[in-house]
């Protein structure tokens, strides 16, 4: 259930964009009938409808995700709050100005916000945010936590620039596919690499001592 909620906004974004792109006339009619009051000028053109409807879907999906976690009394991670803020602000700007440029910057804004947060926590507050978040689950040497922090800052920074490169170098449909699947694959590969990296430094749990054999001397 939690996994489905995590991917719900992305699935809605991709599904609505593809559906609207294949049925442009229908999507334009829906957009103008129900959402024209939320855009400047009050008219949504055919080429704008897919991105606009997909953006509305991802905003709704993120709000549903947050509400569902609240109802299930689950902890809402800081990353989800950052995602919600970016989706509402940049998604709202995309809808109002009916310009997909704003929503295209959302992944980069998220990645760069995480990179800055990890960097500032170490440089300014002298704390390792990764260790604070994950230290209760795994035990690693201090130098490994420092390396992980640098690696994550570099990865998030790179992903932010990669998103902008794809957004401005390829057609909009290619960027949508990259946002949903490309970024997800990159994250999984990165996480797998992290598991391999830290596995060398994990401390083996001490084995329980075996009971001494009973003295059978008569």
- How far apart CA 92 and CA 129 sit, in angstroms, is 30
Same domain, 109 and 199: yes
218 found inside a domain:
no
Task: Report the chain's C-alpha Rg in angstroms.
Answer: 23
Q: Which two tokens stand for residue 134?
A: 């994950």
14 found inside a domain:
yes
Note the pLDDT tens digit of each residue in 6-55.
Answer: 788 999 999 999 999 999 999 999 999 999 899 998 899 999 999 999 99
Neighbours of 190 (CB within 10 A): 16
Please state the pTM of the whole predicted model.
0.84
Note the pLDDT tens digit of each residue in 73-99.
Answer: 888 888 888 889 999 999 999 999 989
Percent residues over pLDDT 90 in the chain: 58
Same domain, 132 and 156: yes
- The DSSP letter of residue 210 is P
Calculate the alpha carbon distances from 52 to 58, 67, 121, 199, 204 in Å.
Answer: 10, 23, 36, 44, 52
According to the model, what pLDDT value does residue 164 have? 96
What domain range is 36 assigned to? 1-99
The residue among 99, 130, 163 that closes a domain is 99
122-126 contact pairs (CB < 8 A, 24+): 122/146, 122/149
Same domain, 79 and 127: no
The residue among 81, 99, 117 that closes a domain is 99
Number of domains in the chain: 2
Residue 77: in which H helix or E strand, if any?
none
3-state secondary structure of 102: helix
Same domain, 42 and 123: no
The residue ranking higher by pLDDT, 138 or 29, is: 29
């Amino acid at each position: 259930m939690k996994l489905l909620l995590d991917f719900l906004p992305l699935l809605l974004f991709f599904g609505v964009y593809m559906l609207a792109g294949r049925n442009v006339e229908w999507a334009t009619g829906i957009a103008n009938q129900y959402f024209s009051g939320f855009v400047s000028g009050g008219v949504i053109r055919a080429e704008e409808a897919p991105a606009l409807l997909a953006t509305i879907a991802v905003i709704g999906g993120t709000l549903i995700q947050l509400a569902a976690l609240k109802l299930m009394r689950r902890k809402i991670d800081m990353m989800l709050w950052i995602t919600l803020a970016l989706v509402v602000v940049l998604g709202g700007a995309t809808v109002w100005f009916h310009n997909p440029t704003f929503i295209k910057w959302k992944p980069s804004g998220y990645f760069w916000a995480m990179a800055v947060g990890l960097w500032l926590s170490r440089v300014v507050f002298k704390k390792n945010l990764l260790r604070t978040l994950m230290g209760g689950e795994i035990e690693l040497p201090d130098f490994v936590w420092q390396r992980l922090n640098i690696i994550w800052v570099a990865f998030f920074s790179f992903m932010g620039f990669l998103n902008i490169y794809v957004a401005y170098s390829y057609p909009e449909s290619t960027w949508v596919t990259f946002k949903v699947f490309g970024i997800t694959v990159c994250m999984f590969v990165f996480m797998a690499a992290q598991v391999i990296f830290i596995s060398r430094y994990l401390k083996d749990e001490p084995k329980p001592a075996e009971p001494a054999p009973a003295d059978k001397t008569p």
